[in-house]
Structure 1
Amino acid sequence: MGETRNAGSFRDPSGTVFVAADGSILRSVNPVYRENYERFCSSGLRERLCCDGLLVPFREADELVEPGSFKTLKAEKIEFVSYPYEWSFGQLKDAALLTLEIQKTALEHNMMLKDASAYNVQFRRGRPVFIDLLSFETADDRPWSAYGQFCSHFLAPLALMAKRDAGFNAVMAEYLDGIPLELASKLLPWKSRFSPGLLFHIHLHAKMQRRHQDGRAAAEKTKRVRVSVGSKIAFAESLRSLVRSLKLPESKTEWGDYYSDTNYDDAAFAAKKELVAQTAEELRPRRVLDLGANTGVFSRLASRDGNLVVAADIDPVAVDRHYRFLKRGKIADVLPLRIDLANPSPAIGWDNRERDSFFSRCDFDLVMALALVHHLAITHNVPLPMIAGTLAGLGRTLLIEFVPKEDSQVRRLLSTREDIFPNYHADGFLAAFEPYFELRRRTLIPGTKRELFVFRKRGTDGAL
């Protein structure tokens, strides 16, 4: 049938994830999970979560994807898989609130989440959606077993982003099982202990974990604890109140305020927007990658007709502002992510295959790189031919801006360092990109010395 087993799906004995040829997700359900799955359906929880848009839409497939399994579930495709260490503060916060809403709803149906991993959430059509179809178990009088995981995967990184640095969730790439609470407790400012929620759920929680490092003793103690369903609902509500109270402080960063500190006048900026919009209209790409997207002004110009635009930027404040703008405007076609193009998300996890690298997930019809090349070439010392080779691997058509040395932004970059870039000029730029691309259009942005180039990757069909 052409299904491929997901390399990161091996930890849960309840079932295995496969990817179909059309990109849809297949989930085998093993006999060990049969009772919980049947209760999930008969309790009305499945219908409620799907109707409320909290769970990825799925159906039962006609054929089993794995011999010996009980059922196969076919979920709708996620257009672009992203990871918590690539999200903004607002995205991680909304994913946490989604998880708690699902836990509360499940408890109302006498079930509960057996895990609370941030990797159980993806963004689909502008909203977080829960994707682990086998995460539900019958609720009884045991404590919520996924509480510690929720704190490590959501609460700890959110608190550190709010209290220390907006980009702190990047550390989650180092801690795939969540940020250790003991580490979070040490890194949070002392005054965070004056927050009753953070004191209890992080600082005292970390202390309790240290005290009960002997897992056997802790397990025996947990077995004796009894918690009613009503108490677990109240507990989820208290966590939700705490998460909602966490806010990213308003801060100014170099890139978060980029558009208010450029050498464009209003007419030049409007002309650039018109050129980008015209190119996007002519190409009508289904999948767009905007590199160096900042707050997404140009990303949104490429958004149309239900396509997908991944808007990547290095600055966590800019990405979060973009996400909040999209959320307020109910714009569903754009996915903002925090990506450092000079150091993008690598392949990590077991055998380096649990989480795919950012570049390996990229297969776009149009790649936009506006006001970006000079930062890569001059700030990061990446040679133009290497930039061209990397961009050629991400998509088929490239819309790219070249900013010459005469531009004030480039002069500013060179003001504090030696100019060791003799080939950084328009002819050198074209020579670097020529082996990978065919030039289709070259346009001077009115009122500036900057130029927009449209390239088509060699060996691909299609014309501008």
Structure 2
Amino acid sequence: MLNINDLEWPGIKFIDPSCRTGRYKKKFYKAFLPCAKDILLDFKNKKILETLYAENLIPETTKSKIKVDGFIEIYRQKTENYNVKSKYWPTTLSKEACLAYIKLNQTLLKYGYGCIDGHTNNFIIQRNSKPLWCDIGSFIPTNNYPYIGLNEFIKCMLYPLILRSQGEIFDPLMREALDGKIPINLMKKVTGVDIAYAGTRENILKHLENFTNTLTFDWKKTTWSEYYTDENISQSFNINNCRAINWKNEPRKLVISRLLKILNPKTVIDLGSNAGVFSIMAATNGAEVLSVEPDDAAACKFLKNIQNKDKGIKIKIMVDKVGNGHEKRGELALALALTHHMFFTHEYRLPIIARELASHTSNSLITEFMPMGLGKLKPIPDPLPENYNLTILTNELTKYFKNVEIIDYDMPKNRAKRILILCTNKISDSALRKIKPEIRPT
């Protein structure tokens, strides 16, 4: 029997009347209080949790053998290495989460239950970028509460989508609203939409489902949203078994594919992933992948292309830029076709680029140097700056990795020249402090 103080209890407030979330030995548990006795009996007799899992609405949830003083039952939910907060979801994933919440409540209603909560923090992203509701402690009988959770859902999930549907210019505001930071009255004024509901919970949920399905989103065409066509992306999958195809006619992809097999990382972060060709390649090699792409349109296109594929691969898509490496890090970081854009477009110096890329990995990095800068067959700009060269970049990378290797290979004609850089055996933060105190640990 564990003492209540043996677990960590995240959060500063507990809204759920019958359950608490605790962490023990890096695993998360749902701990039910004695007042939840009847609810737990329903879970068991009606197989509610099994049904929700089968319908892809909650993560795999099983009763745990551990006992905690003051609680009558403990459940453990399966977790994965990466999760993505709602602020960084592709827009279309936010819509999918809205529909998932409605479907969750429609299924619960069949058993006389509903969610007391309606905010995005109770969603985790698992499997193939699937939003799953993790807070099973928020399920309560709806007998005396026909509208439970709906006000919060409309404020924190539906109104942000309505706002985004009115134009891409509202994207930053939508992302703040998904965290519940904008009052509902303000959202009504900004969107010009006043959502009111009455009647049975079943009819309200159906109305919300129909309304959510009508929401559409537009994006301006950008270099990145059109960088790959749908046909390019589909080539990354063998539709039947989701294994990487043979890249013998694509030397760059062939080399990267072989490196992935040699390194065999369990976790990969793909920086500037765009359509996710290399994310898919890493995932089909067995890694769990966090695919980071700053362009929402490109991220949504990638999401659409992977969601109906093999459920056995694990790719999470995050709309964000390079940086904050402590929050998004893998055993391997991929930073392909990226350094020249960081240098010329965002005006990062190569030492800063090396530091930022290194911050995203605990062990290895595969990156590229474009000797023509932004050009294809001729340098752009011409001449290239003296502080943009391969030697400077590799020298900077040696400050963070014990091994830095240049991999040159023949490129097809009329293709921009690329030089692969493989960095392995990252120097630990503590070693960096001792050996090179002028370098900020990553």
Decide: shared fold, TM above 0.5: yes
Counterpart mapping for 1:91-110 below 5 A: 91-110=93-112
Q: Please tell me whether residue 371 in structure 1 is matched to residue 374 in structure 2.
A: no
CA distance change for structure 1 residues 162 and 18 in 2, over 3 Å: closer, same or farther?
A: same
TM superposition score normalised by structure 1: 0.77
* Aligned residue pairs, count: 400
Of 147-156 and 163-172, more deviation after overlay is shown by 163-172
Supply the distance in 2 between the matched residues of 1:130 and 1:154 (Cα, whole angstroms). 13
Supply the distance in 1 between the matched residues of 2:423 and 2:9 (Cα, whole angstroms). 34
**Would you say the 8 A contact 1:81–1:361 is kept in 2?**
no
Counterpart mapping for 1:343-382 below 5 A: 359-382=325-348
Counterpart position of 1:233: 202
**Would you say the 8 A contact 1:5–1:18 is kept in 2?**
yes
Amino acid in structure 2 at the alignment position of 1:96: C
Which SS does the other structure have where 1:282 is aligned? Answer: helix
CA distance change for structure 1 residues 166 and 68 in 2, over 3 Å: closer, same or farther?
A: farther
Give 1:125 shift: 1.0
Supply the distance in 2 between the matched residues of 1:75 and 1:86 (Cα, whole angstroms). 23
Amino acid in structure 2 at the alignment position of 1:242: F
* Alignment counterpart, residue 455 of structure 1, candidates 408, 414, 423: 423
Give 1:329 shift: 2.7
Counterpart mapping for 1:246-261 below 5 A: 246-249=215-218, 251-259=220-228
Supply the distance in 2 between the matched residues of 1:76 and 1:69 (Cα, whole angstroms). 20
Amino acid in structure 2 at the alignment position of 1:367: A
Counterpart position of 1:435: 399
**Would you say the 8 A contact 1:403–1:410 is kept in 2?**
no
Q: Please tell me whether residue 337 in structure 1 is matched to residue 318 in structure 2.
A: yes
* Alignment counterpart, residue 267 of structure 2, candidates 283, 287, 290: 287
Supply the distance in 2 between the matched residues of 1:45 and 1:446 (Cα, whole angstroms). 58
Counterpart mapping for 1:70-219 below 5 A: 70-126=72-128, 127-165=130-168, 168=171, 171-173=174-176, 176-177=179-180, 179-188=182-191, 199-201=193-195
Q: Deviations over 1:77-123 (max 9, x none)?
A: 13312111111122111111111111011111011111111121112
Which SS does the other structure have where 1:318 is aligned? Answer: helix
Supply the distance in 1 between the matched residues of 2:173 and 2:425 (Cα, whole angstroms). 32
What percent of counterpart residues are identical? 20
Q: Please tell me whether residue 400 in structure 1 is matched to residue 364 in structure 2.
A: no
CA distance change for structure 1 residues 97 and 444 in 2, over 3 Å: closer, same or farther?
A: same
Give 1:27 shift: 1.9
Amino acid in structure 1 at the alignment position of 2:390: A
Supply the distance in 1 between the matched residues of 2:379 and 2:147 (Cα, whole angstroms). 55
Supply the distance in 2 between the matched residues of 1:422 and 1:256 (Cα, whole angstroms). 32
Supply the distance in 2 between the matched residues of 1:91 and 1:302 (Cα, whole angstroms). 22
Which SS does the other structure have where 1:137 is aligned? Answer: strand
CA distance change for structure 1 residues 278 and 6 in 2, over 3 Å: closer, same or farther?
A: farther
Give 1:334 shift: 1.6
Q: Please tell me whether residue 426 in structure 1 is matched to residue 390 in structure 2.
A: yes
Supply the distance in 2 between the matched residues of 1:398 and 1:184 (Cα, whole angstroms). 43
**Would you say the 8 A contact 2:156–2:177 is kept in 1?**
no
Which SS does the other structure have where 2:81 is aligned? Answer: coil
Q: Which has the larger helix fraction?
A: 1
**Runs (5+) with no aligned partner, structure 2:** 230-246, 429-442
Supply the distance in 2 between the matched residues of 1:79 and 1:456 (Cα, whole angstroms). 21
**Would you say the 8 A contact 1:292–1:372 is kept in 2?**
yes
**Runs (5+) with no aligned partner, structure 1:** 191-198, 206-224, 261-266, 345-358
Of 97-106 and 168-177, more deviation after overlay is shown by 168-177
TM superposition score normalised by structure 2: 0.81
Give 1:312 shift: 0.6
Counterpart position of 1:320: 300
Q: Deviations over 1:109-149 (max 9, x none)?
A: 01111111112111211122211110111111433131121
Supply the distance in 1 between the matched residues of 2:262 and 2:397 (Cα, whole angstroms). 22
**Would you say the 8 A contact 1:3–1:18 is kept in 2?**
no
